[in-house]
Structure 1
């Protein structure tokens, strides 16, 4: 199953497929347009600026390039998903582009800031599209699956809102975990609260608190066993960043898999 997961990811993220997907998504396409617009701007600036100003600009560009490269490598190592890595690199790229533009002219920097603001308002980063062996569920489907006796004993369900950055960054966790841990006793599902906001009240999920989404709930025969992040009204610190390792540990997925293998 692990090999199937790796092959699926390689197919989804081979360079040609990845490039086609990113250029077809408005969020990425408009970012590319803004970033590549710097090329004609730079050519024009070279013809207008004095030798001293051009040398100063080139020096700043080299500094920005090396700083961006270092940050990119760090994020590539630290980030657990491609969605998180892309979001972070785009964020730093915006900062460096605005900074370099301000060296040329502050009006240009303001124009780039406005362009990125329009992109932020009009588009959003797409979530991971794969499902693995998990199921995209409607509220009625979820209720039916939990109550019918011929389905899995356990259901691990992710409640997300695809409009939230935190949910986009973790959108591949359940699909990837389902490939490894799904069996006849444990199934995985996804419910998009952006499409079905009324479901949040039924399961005690606050849509007004971004740090509570995504929410993962484990059900056993239609009864909630535990959830992550856990509800703690007296917590004084924010919940830790969600990782696949934390999900595995909290819901004891390895234990469930061993029980299935041992026929329990």
Structure 2
């Protein structure tokens, strides 16, 4: 995961201000209230079993998040995985106490899933937010960058939210006079998906999609057209830089080619 850490106050503000984080915090915090109340009504055997299972769950949880912290490249993906594992362990623990409590938490997490969504990374880096018409104009005018790398995303896609930090950070590193970065939100302009050959949903969903244009002609994209519906690997900065040969483009610019 990226070594840069956000300001702790920024994350605190997000936890309080973003419904997605705030409701998850309340749901997990409620377990401690339920747990303290359950100690008065559960038998000593069940209480002891629950205590052992809680220790096992905490150890397993921290092992998993340590692994994810080393593997994940963005905070958005890390937080999404952490919350997912937390839900699994919490539901498993409530099964020991009472299955009615388990059903209650399942309903709560389902409501959170339906009513809220994880906020994406909001910074743009050196990328520009574009409408399809603006993108078409930039590509056809010919007086801008030779190359345009464009990310097609949508806020309703969990994959886009998990990878939302990668593209802006890549743009900061690789943007130059020959290579520009743009972002098109297909949630706002769904008709553009067909124009650029992107399937936004279903089993063939291809969001986010990245397309590299050279002098208004598409020369590469990721994920590539896939008619066998094989899974796409997780989006990372390393994967995108390698696929679009961004290091080579940067060297060519530095060397004046």
Shift of the alpha carbon at 1:211? 4.2
Aligned to 1:223: 217
Corresponding position of 2:31? 38
Report the equivalent of 1:24.
17
Structure 1: tracts of 5 or more residues without a match: none
From the superposition, tell whether residues 220 and 26 of structure 1 become closer, same or farther in structure 2 (CA, over 3 Å).
Answer: same
TM-score (norm 2): 0.94
Asked if the contact 1:211/1:239 (under 8 Å) is kept, the reply is no
Shift of residue 127, structure 1, vs aligned partner? 0.9
2:62 pairs with 1:62: no
Residue 156 of structure 1: aligned partner? 149
Aligned residues: 255
- Alignment RMSD: 1.6
Q: TM-score, normalising length from structure 1?
A: 0.92
Give 1:189's match in structure 2, choosing from 182, 195, 204: 182
For 1:140, the equivalent position in structure 2 comes to: 133
SS at match of 1:219: strand
Q: Which runs of 4+ in 1 moved over 3 A?
A: none
Matching of residues 67-82 of structure 1 within 5 Å: 67-82=60-75
Q: Does 1:246 align with 2:239?
A: yes
Out of 56, 74, 93, the position equivalent to 2:86 is: 93
Match of 1:122 in 2: 115
Q: Which of the pair is proportionally richer in helix? A: 1
Moved more, 210-219 or 101-110: 210-219
Is the Cα–Cα contact under 8 Å of residues 83 and 168 in structure 1 kept in the other structure?
yes
> Structure 2: which 5+ residue stretches go unaligned?
none
- Give the counterpart of 1:113 among 106, 110, 120: 106
Contact 2:139 2:215 in 1 (8 A): yes
Aligned CA distance change for structure 1 residues 232 and 60 (closer, same or farther; 3 Å):
closer
